[in-house]
Amino acid sequence: MFYREAGQFKASYQNDQQIFPIRQDQIGFIALMGFLFLVVPFIANQYWLQAVLIPVLIFGLAALGLNILTGYAGQLSLGSAAFMAVGAFGTYNFMLRIDGIPFLVALLLGGLCAAAIGILFGLPSLRIKGFYLAVATLAAQFFIVWVLVKFGWFSNYSSSGVITAQHVNILGVDFRSPEMKYLLTLTVVVVMALLAKNMVRSSTGRKWMAVRDMDVAAEVIGIRLMRTKLQAFAISSFYCGVAGALYAYMYLGTVEPEGFNLDMSFRILFMIIIGGVGSIMGSFIGAAFIVLLPVFLNVAFHSTIGAYVPADLASNLELIIFGALIIFFLIVEPHGLARLWQLTKEKLRLWPFPH
By CB under 8 A, residue 326 contacts other proteins: yes
Site for other proteins in 50-79 (CB under 8 A): 50-52, 55, 70, 76
CA distances from 53 to 107, 182, 245, 248, 265 (A): 20, 8, 16, 15, 20
- Angstrom distance (rounded) from CA 83 to CA 78: 10
By CB under 8 A, residue 44 contacts other proteins: no
By CB under 8 A, residue 331 contacts other proteins: yes
By CB under 8 A, residue 327 contacts other proteins: yes
Is residue 276 within 8 A of residue 334, CB to CB? The reply is: no
- Angstrom distance (rounded) from CA 163 to CA 85: 11
* Cβ closest to other proteins, residue 40 vs residue 138: 138
C-beta of 35: minimal distance to other proteins in Å? 17
Is residue 98 within 8 A of residue 303, CB to CB? The reply is: no
- Angstrom distance (rounded) from CA 283 to CA 287: 6
Stretch that binds other proteins, among 28-36, 60-68, 147-155, 193-201 (CB under 8 A): 147-155
Site for other proteins in 163-182 (CB under 8 A): 164, 166-167
Question: Taking CB under 8 A as the rule, which mask of x and - marks residues 209-238 in contact with other proteins?
Answer: ------x---------x-------------
By CB under 8 A, residue 316 contacts other proteins: yes
By CB under 8 A, residue 300 contacts other proteins: yes
CA distances from 221 to 187, 199, 271, 305 (A): 38, 20, 33, 60
C-beta of 55: minimal distance to other proteins in Å? 6
Residue 41 DSSP SS3 = helix
By CB under 8 A, residue 19 contacts other proteins: no
